[in-house]
Structure 1
C-alpha cells in the first residue's frame, strides 16, 4: 500500500508547478500510451487537472490522481525555463 507521506510529497511537488506547461505520458493498457501536452491547471487534495488544447479549437481537461504517478501509470514532465523536470 502506498505510504500517505509519499502521496503528500507528490502533491506538494505538483502544487508548485500550477500554470506551467506539462507533458503527460499515460499508460492506457495493452501497450497503448497517450502522450499529450497541456497546462497544469489546478490541484486538489486527491487529483490534479491538466488542460489540453485539442484539435479544432477544443479544450479538454483531464484529471489524474497522485497515486497514478506513484504507480507509474502516468508520467508528468514539467517544462520550465527550457528544462525538463520529471515529477515522481
Structure 2
C-alpha cells in the first residue's frame, strides 16, 4: 500500500502558522507513532538545530508542513485542513 506521510509547502510562514493554529481534528504534535493524524512543523520541531542555509538546501523551509495521516475518515481530514486554511 501507500505510505501515510506527506509534506507540502504553503505560500508563506504566516499561512503555515495559521494552519497549525487552526486545525481541530488533526493534532499539532512531533511524535509520529500513533494512529491519529498529526501535523508537524519541521523547521521548529524536528530540525531546529540546522543552520537556515542547510535547512533550506534540504527543503526544510518555514512554509513546510508535514502530515502523518492516521485512521480518521479522509473527508474529515480534508474538511479540517480546509477550515484551517480558511480561518
Question: TM-score by structure 2 length?
Answer: 0.32
Higher RCO, Cα 8 Å, sep 6+? 2
Q: When you count helix as a share of all residues, which structure comes out higher?
A: 2
Q: When you count strand as a share of all residues, which structure comes out higher?
A: 1
